[in-house]
Amino acid sequence: MDVAVDLLTAASLLQRTGLASQQDALAARLVEAAWSLGRLAAAVLPGGRAAWGERLASTLGAGLDSPLLALEAAVGRIALAWAAASTYPSDRLFQAEPKLFVVLEGFQAEPLAEALKAHFGARSMSIPLDSSRSEDVPPAVRPTLHAAPDAEAEAGRAAACLLAHLAQGRSPVALIAQDRFLTRRVSAMLQRQGIAMRDETGWKLSTTRAAASLMSLLRAMAWDASTDSVLDWLKNAPAFDAGAVTAAETVLRQAGVRLWRDLPDAPLPAFAAIQPLAVPVSALRDAFIRARSLALWLRDLRAALQAAAQWETLVLDEAGQTVLDILRLHEGAEIEFGTLPIMAFNDFTRWVDRTLEAGTFSPAHPPAEQVVILPLPQLLGRPVQAVVFPGCDEIHLPSSPEPAGPWTPGQRALLGLPAREALASAARQAWRHALRSPHVDLLWRTSEAGERLMPSSFVQELRLASDLPLAPDVRSLRAVVARPTQRPLPTGAALPLARLSASAYEDLRRCPYRFFALRQLRLQAPEELESELGKRDFGNWLHSTLRYFHEALKDAPAPDVSSRVALINAAAEQATQVLGLSASEFLPFAAAWPGVREGYLAWLGGHEATGAAFQAAETWREMPLGELTLMGKIDRIDRDADGHTLVIDYKTEPRPVTAERINSAQEDTQLAFYAALVEDDTLAAAYVNLGEKEPTKTYAQPAIVALRDELIDGILSDMARIGEGAVLPALGEGKACEYCAARGLCRKDFWKA
């Protein structure tokens, strides 16, 4: 019954029975099955336990001889043999010689208690704690019913009910933990109010901050650890300077390093800020590469926690002490696992994760609790003044609970485990006992994840029998003074720009405040390292592919289609490698690539037939404009039949969007801005739309020279006004606000109406 040991024992038993390849999937199920049988095995006299196991083994696998059920049958057999071969702390009770043995009976019989009663014979007696089991005994008071619209409202009402009882001098109050997530929410609300609580249910050890801190270290030590995982650990490891971690994160996100192992071994100028951090981190990570015994893993994990200064935090934390105890991380405790076989790092991490997931943390009890959190059956024999029972819905409070464990109804009957009918009877008895408390509040929610939710059948029976009305919301309304945010009206005269790009000027046109925040203050959202590839990534890949293709085609002209297909495919492979895109992530776009490729090659043939010729791609240009410098990268520059410059910008957007750019030429600044980067008064410009489902099409801008001149005049005028202190307001209108990185800064959603 020690999860850390039992998981290892289960894996060993599976290996010895020829199921080593399935041990990762079956180990946890085997432990669950063995634990359910352990309660039965402990009730058998130690001398007869082996015979008990052999007798059941001959019939337990009946009906499971199908190949489809082979694993289920194997788990059952191993669990039974394991339970029958084990000893239990309660075995010493069979050797005792008491003058009187008393059993306080609950809602259902306990195998060990019944066995001890039979063993002691006339020296034993039973006292039922529930003295009014008859269903004819009515509840002491009429319970109060509360129907909440959702889980958050239900938690708020439950907390309000508890506070109301305490205000009326009823203490302690029982909070029934029927829905653990909801109970945690109620507990957090009460904690803010300073209520002393005694939690007898606890919660998963894996959900504590201490367990999360330890697991963050293990995730960072993995050979294929993502950069995000390592950064997450470094931010929670006191040994590393917070400023150095922030500086390293900035560099890594700018460089797009997704896996920590991809950092260059030799120091490079671009990664100079990371080196002071990368050296100690790499040293720790190198220590976790080789396989070793569990005892050595625990020793090295303890050393890593100490090196990262996380050990002291765990020692001083109540949940951290539980983590150290259950994993045997204290000095010398790992000797218990000294004879176990060699484990790889992934196996060790899996063992730690499962141990923490199965472990339970129960905080220390206060000296005088006001609220007791406990499961419904444990309300029996408790002198509480009131009961608050949230989670009384059809999901969390079924009238016929699902039996735990992997056993079929026939197997449960054979083994002596309680049947569904017995569990249902015990649940009904516990329900009726709760209703006999001096004051009872029953709460449920009417919806879950957008679906309608009915109250428990227990509640429905109660309402049909007594016609109880629903209580009003017990929460008190609190008046909050509205403090709306004023629309920001900054000026940017003190932050002049020396260089201006097309996207920066587009920000100014769309919203002056966006330009102020993102361009003048240079506030940028950090890049996501683990984000999935999107349309923008496909566009970047397509730009690179076309660049490599046209440069290769220019060096080695290939007029026939088959040669061009081979060239562009080679360019696509080159772009994929240069951008570091994995084949699995790029698969959705790779599926669309053949259609885009055929459409583009067909367009290219017609484009060249007009006399146009490719000159350069992805060309960086800068153009002085007074004290300002215009800059940008032009997708493509061609020469038309007359020798004039043709500026081309690729688009992968829907065709109507590109067409609108041409129709609203004075609103669209991108093509005119690129034209301003070229010293040519006879140039032409066009968008080339590369559609996935439609043929590639050219959208020419005939008045590009006039539009360019207007744009230059507008840039000079706008920059002069900003330098003179013109206000840069947040417009808060149109599509510009729907996808804006500065929205959280301008606080548009909180402006005064």
pLDDT for 267 beyond 70:
no
More confident residue, 581 or 234: 234
Q: Give the mean pLDDT of 119-136.
A: 80
pLDDT for 712 beyond 90:
yes
Q: 109 falls in which pLDDT band (50, 70, 90)?
A: confident
pLDDT for 203 beyond 90:
no
* Cα distances (angstroms) measured from residue 417 to each of 40, 93, 104, 573, 597: 8, 22, 20, 62, 66
pLDDT for 397 beyond 60:
yes
Enumerate long-range contacts of 62-68, CB under 8 Å, 24 or more apart.
Answer: 62/410, 63/410
With b for 16 or more beta-carbon neighbours within 10 A and e for fewer, the 163-181 pattern comes to: bbbbeeebbbbbbbbbbbe
For residue 663, which of 710, 714, 705, 700 has the smallest C-alpha distance?
A: 700
What pLDDT is recorded for position 532? 63
CA angle 230, 236, 239 (to 5 degrees): 95
What pLDDT is recorded for position 115? 94
Q: Give the mean pLDDT of 715-731.
A: 94
For residue 648, which of 627, 625, 619, 680 has the smallest C-alpha distance?
A: 619
- pLDDT, tens only, 430-469: 999 999 999 999 999 999 988 999 999 999 999 998 888 9
Cα 336 to its chain centre, rounded Å, is 34
- pLDDT, tens only, 137-166: 555 568 999 999 999 999 999 999 999 999
- β-sheet with 371-374: strand ranges across: 144-148, 440-445, 386-389, 173-176, 371-374, 197-199
Q: 732 falls in which pLDDT band (50, 70, 90)?
A: confident
pLDDT for 133 beyond 60:
no
With b for 16 or more beta-carbon neighbours within 10 A and e for fewer, the 339-358 pattern comes to: ebeebebebbbbbbbbbbeb
Q: Is the dihedral of CA 8, 10, 14, 16 positive or negative?
A: positive
Three-class SS state of 491: strand
Q: Give the mean pLDDT of 252-269.
A: 78
Q: 738 falls in which pLDDT band (50, 70, 90)?
A: confident
What are the two backbone dihedrals, phi and then psi, of residue 439, each rounded to the nearest 5 degrees? -140, 130
Three-class SS state of 507: helix
More confident residue, 338 or 396: 396
Lowest mean pLDDT among 307-316, 348-357, 533-542, 686-695: 533-542
Average model confidence (pLDDT) across the chain? 90
For residue 459, which of 136, 137, 135, 143 has the smallest C-alpha distance?
A: 143
Q: Which residues contact 41 (CB under 8 A, 6 or more apart)?
A: 49, 52, 53, 83, 84, 86, 88
pLDDT for 374 beyond 90:
yes
Q: Give the mean pLDDT of 331-337.
A: 91
pLDDT for 377 beyond 70:
yes
What pLDDT is recorded for position 692? 77
**Domain residue extents for the chain:** 3-91, 96-128, 144-199+366-466, 206-361, 499-722
Three-class SS state of 116: helix
What pLDDT is recorded for position 539? 85
More confident residue, 272 or 671: 671
CA angle 429, 430, 435 (to 5 degrees): 95
Q: Domain 499-722 falls in which CATH fold?
A: Lambda Exonuclease; Chain A (3.90.320)
Q: Give the mean pLDDT of 121-139.
A: 74
More confident residue, 42 or 257: 42
Q: 64 falls in which pLDDT band (50, 70, 90)?
A: low
What pLDDT is recorded for position 124? 94
What pLDDT is recorded for position 739? 81
The C-alpha atoms of residue 58 and residue 148 are separated, in whole angstroms, by: 52
What pLDDT is recorded for position 307? 94
What pLDDT is recorded for position 132? 59
* Cα distances (angstroms) measured from residue 451 to each of 447, 454, 506, 610: 5, 10, 44, 61
pLDDT for 317 beyond 60:
yes
Do domains 144-199+366-466 and 499-722 share one topology? The answer is no
Q: 268 falls in which pLDDT band (50, 70, 90)?
A: low
> Could you give the percent of the chain with pLDDT greater than 70?
96
For residue 298, which of 333, 323, 322 has the smallest C-alpha distance?
A: 333
| 731, 508 contact by CB (below 8 A) | no
Q: Give the mean pLDDT of 479-507.
A: 92
pLDDT for 70 beyond 90:
no
- pLDDT, tens only, 617-665: 999 999 999 899 999 999 999 999 888 999 999 998 899 999 999 998 8
- The rounded radius of gyration (Å) of the Cα atoms in the chain is 36
Q: Domain 144-199+366-466 falls in which CATH fold?
A: Rossmann fold (3.40.50)
